[in-house]
Amino acid sequence: MLFFGAGLAAEREFLNRIEEDLSNGRIDEISAIELQLQAVYEPQELPVLYQQLAVDLICDPTPIKAKAKRFFVQANDAQRARLQRWFQRPDSTIFSETIVSPAGYFKIHYAKEGSHKTDPEFARQCAAIYDQVYEYEIDVLGYQTPPSDNYRHGPEYDVYMRNISAYGCTTEEELVPGAGNRAFNGFVEMDNDFTHTPTKGLNAARVTAAHEFFHLIQLGYRGYSTVNDNERFFYEMSSTWMEDVVFDSINDYFFYLNSFFSFSHHAFHLFNGNHEYGSAIFLHMLEKKYGHLIVQQMWQELRNRDLFASLQAVLQLKGSSFNRELAEFSVWNIHTKNRADTVRYYPEGKNYPALQPKASYELSDEMQIDDQSGQLQTATYRFVTRIPGDYTVQPQFDEPSNWLLTAVTRSGTNNGSMLINSGNIAATLYDLNLDDEVWVSVINTRLPGAIYQPQDMPFTLQIIPGVAGTTIENKIQKIYPNPYLPAQHASVMVEYSITQTHDQVGMRILSANGQMIFQQQLGYRTAGYHREEWHGKNFAGDQISSGIYLVQIVATEPLPIAKIAVIR
């Protein structure tokens, strides 16, 4: 059997075959999970059909185990028994040797002989590495210590050095009582020699320790079995980010970036064994803009909210929003390799691959792009100017408040200017010279549901030479449902358009006689179309009574008032 490094994304024979068999109904979800865990732990036991394939390096089966937990309930007895064995600690008669780390935080378990055999000196060095990681993530960065494992094999956190076709894995064990019923404890396994990983030896052990110990920390905030399929990527995104925070010079995460920058239209939350690691650069972007504590704040929020609500809550406190950062992410991702700007964008961006656009075009004449995108997908197009002059990019979206558009113009060594619009507002590109480059990204900001199921929505981009105006008003476009029946409707949606970008847009609800009963600061909103949610409650958090209410959006200037009827 052949093992390929994670950097060779084209060689995803094994995972691709599983995906294919799953979509054809040849195997079910539970079998797919079993096959992936088998590939990590006992590849020799795989069915012959799969053994013949080049089995990919599954970097970390932690999220596969998270998915397995969700399927426990619907598995039959035999399946459940087979899945359950991946959640048990390794056999201590095999992993019989132990070393307690110098600072006493960890106990390393390893085998003296057999297929899991570990060099005792390597195990000793790993023990010291785990202490170093603990001191950085807990003492320097300030994360809360992972919950105790209730003295299993002593008070230390347990790390098992095991021959696996992965870097490492963190397994969720027991619910910690009294922590909102979401915190868990667990244990860590990691490879016994790191000869098959792109980064080898002690450096691989270092990034793995930083990554897996951060998974243990995460479980203390929110166990991975309590999130849905579309939130699980964040565990990998943040653990991969953490590798580079603790060990800046190792850069194992570079190996995931080839795939990330080749498939730039993949959804932000895509979980395919590669993308969720590459997307760690989203957190490197946020770290550079707001400091490293922003990631910790997100984990704190995750104790009480779902993922996207947590991201939104934290970014709103910074005067930003998840949508805005998603739009800026598309701009940062253009500035890598030869286009890198380490002052304004990624500090290590010179080492990142160049983004592959979804398509490339020449700017000369009027043209139209018809395309489509699913939830949280970004479509990036590259244009090269053949006839100098001004150009207008006119987007057409059916639901304008679900879309953002960014445009970056670059000429020669000039990094150019960036523009973020939302909805059907035209982007005007002034004064392009011969061979100037323009990058336009179209971002679908609709949030996904609980299950990965992209629904493509069509859109068009018209490129028109010259400066074309778009007429847009300061106006509340639509309030729905109207009338609003609190017994039936969870909330009210307010759709509006604004002609200018504003740092602090607000929403007010007034009674029919003009008394303000509710107000919310919404933060930064771009010129264009937006949609806000109101839960039908007043300042005190009580449901309001029946009657006519006035809705007001305040941007650079107050928008004309719109009415809503509430019927209880």
Chain residue at closest Cβ approach to Zn ion: 60
Q: Is 350 in contact with 337 (CB distance < 8 Å)?
A: yes
Total residues binding Zn ion (CB under 5 A): 4
The item of Ca ion, Zn ion, none sharing an interface with residue 152, based on CB under 5 to 8 Å by kind, is Ca ion
328 phi, psi to nearest 5 deg: -65, -35
- To Zn ion, the closest distance from the beta carbon of 132 in angstroms equals 19
172 phi, psi to nearest 5 deg: -75, 135
- To Ca ion, the closest distance from the beta carbon of 536 in angstroms equals 48
Encode burial over 183-218: b for 16+ CB neighbours within 10 A, e otherwise. Answer: bbbbbbbbbbbbebbbbeeebbbbbbbbbbbbbbbb
Residues 228-267, one symbol each (x = binds Zn ion by CB under 5 A, - = not), give: --------x--x----------------------------
Q: Within positions 445 to 484, which residues make up the interface with Ca ion, using CB under 5 A?
A: none
The item of Ca ion, Zn ion, none sharing an interface with residue 153, based on CB under 5 to 8 Å by kind, is Ca ion
Stretch that binds Ca ion, among 50-58, 148-156, 294-302, 437-445 (CB under 5 A): 148-156
Give the residue, chosen from 69, 82, 117, 152, that forms a contact with Ca ion under the rule CB under 5 A: 152
Q: Is 198 in contact with 252 (CB distance < 8 Å)?
A: yes
Total residues binding Ca ion (CB under 5 A): 7
The item of Zn ion, Ca ion, none sharing an interface with residue 292, based on CB under 5 to 8 Å by kind, is none
- Single-letter residue type at 258: N
CA gap 268, 322 in Å, rounded: 12
Q: Within positions 37 to 66, which residues make up the interface with Zn ion, using CB under 5 A?
A: 60, 62
The item of Zn ion, Ca ion, none sharing an interface with residue 264, based on CB under 5 to 8 Å by kind, is none
Contacts for 329 with CB less than 8 Å, ≥ 6 apart: 268, 282, 285, 378
Cβ nearer to Ca ion, comparing 59 with 83 = 59
Cβ nearer to Zn ion, comparing 158 with 236 = 236
- To Zn ion, the closest distance from the beta carbon of 179 in angstroms equals 22
Stretch that binds Ca ion, among 3-11, 145-153, 458-466, 484-492 (CB under 5 A): 145-153
- To Ca ion, the closest distance from the beta carbon of 421 in angstroms equals 33
Stretch that binds Ca ion, among 147-155, 189-197, 209-217, 354-362 (CB under 5 A): 147-155
Cβ nearer to Zn ion, comparing 87 with 361 = 87
The item of Zn ion, Ca ion, none sharing an interface with residue 70, based on CB under 5 to 8 Å by kind, is none
DSSP-derived 3-state class of residue 98 = strand
**Strands (DSSP E) found in 27-114:** 55-56, 97-100, 106-110
DSSP-derived 3-state class of residue 335 = coil
Cβ nearer to Ca ion, comparing 148 with 453 = 148
Q: Is residue 39 classed exposed, middle or buried when 0-12, 13-18 and 19+ CB atoms within 10 A define those classes?
A: buried
Stretch that binds Ca ion, among 66-74, 158-166, 330-338, 422-430 (CB under 5 A): 158-166
CA gap 477, 530 in Å, rounded: 10
Task: Report how far apart, in Å, the C-alpha atoms of 457 and of each of 115, 209, 329, 403, 461 are.
Answer: 51, 41, 21, 10, 13
Q: Is 172 in contact with 225 (CB distance < 8 Å)?
A: yes
Q: Is residue 237 classed exposed, middle or buried when 0-12, 13-18 and 19+ CB atoms within 10 A define those classes?
A: buried
Cβ nearer to Zn ion, comparing 242 with 393 = 242
- To Zn ion, the closest distance from the beta carbon of 164 in angstroms equals 13
Q: Is 566 in contact with 544 (CB distance < 8 Å)?
A: yes
Query: Is the four-CA dihedral 200, 201, 205, 206 of positive or negative sign?
Result: negative
What's the alpha-carbon Rg for the chain, to the nearest Å?
26
- Single-letter residue type at 94: I
Q: Verify binding: residue 189, Zn ion, rule CB under 5 A.
A: no
Cis status of the peptide bond prior to 388, with omega within 30 of 0: no
Cβ nearer to Zn ion, comparing 14 with 167 = 167
Q: Tell me, what DSSP letter sits at residue 89?
A: P
The item of Zn ion, Ca ion, none sharing an interface with residue 239, based on CB under 5 to 8 Å by kind, is Zn ion
The item of Ca ion, Zn ion, none sharing an interface with residue 62, based on CB under 5 to 8 Å by kind, is Zn ion
The item of Ca ion, Zn ion, none sharing an interface with residue 251, based on CB under 5 to 8 Å by kind, is Ca ion
Q: 302 is written with which tokens? A: 């995750």
- To Zn ion, the closest distance from the beta carbon of 232 in angstroms equals 10
Longest dimension (CA), the chain: 82
- To Ca ion, the closest distance from the beta carbon of 395 in angstroms equals 36
- To Zn ion, the closest distance from the beta carbon of 88 in angstroms equals 20
Q: Is 414 in contact with 358 (CB distance < 8 Å)?
A: no
The item of Ca ion, Zn ion, none sharing an interface with residue 191, based on CB under 5 to 8 Å by kind, is none
Torsion of the alpha carbons at 192, 195, 197 and 203, rounded to the nearest 10: 70
Cβ nearer to Ca ion, comparing 104 with 180 = 104
The item of Ca ion, Zn ion, none sharing an interface with residue 248, based on CB under 5 to 8 Å by kind, is Ca ion
Question: Within 13 A of 467's CA, how many CA atoms are on the CB side?
Answer: 4
Q: Verify binding: residue 244, Ca ion, rule CB under 5 A.
A: yes
Give the residue, chosen from 69, 153, 303, 318, that forms a contact with Ca ion under the rule CB under 5 A: 153
Cβ nearer to Ca ion, comparing 82 with 153 = 153
- To Ca ion, the closest distance from the beta carbon of 211 in angstroms equals 14
Q: Verify binding: residue 248, Ca ion, rule CB under 5 A.
A: yes
Residues that bind Ca ion (CB under 5 A): 149, 152-153, 158, 244, 248, 251
Residues that bind Zn ion (CB under 5 A): 60, 62, 236, 239
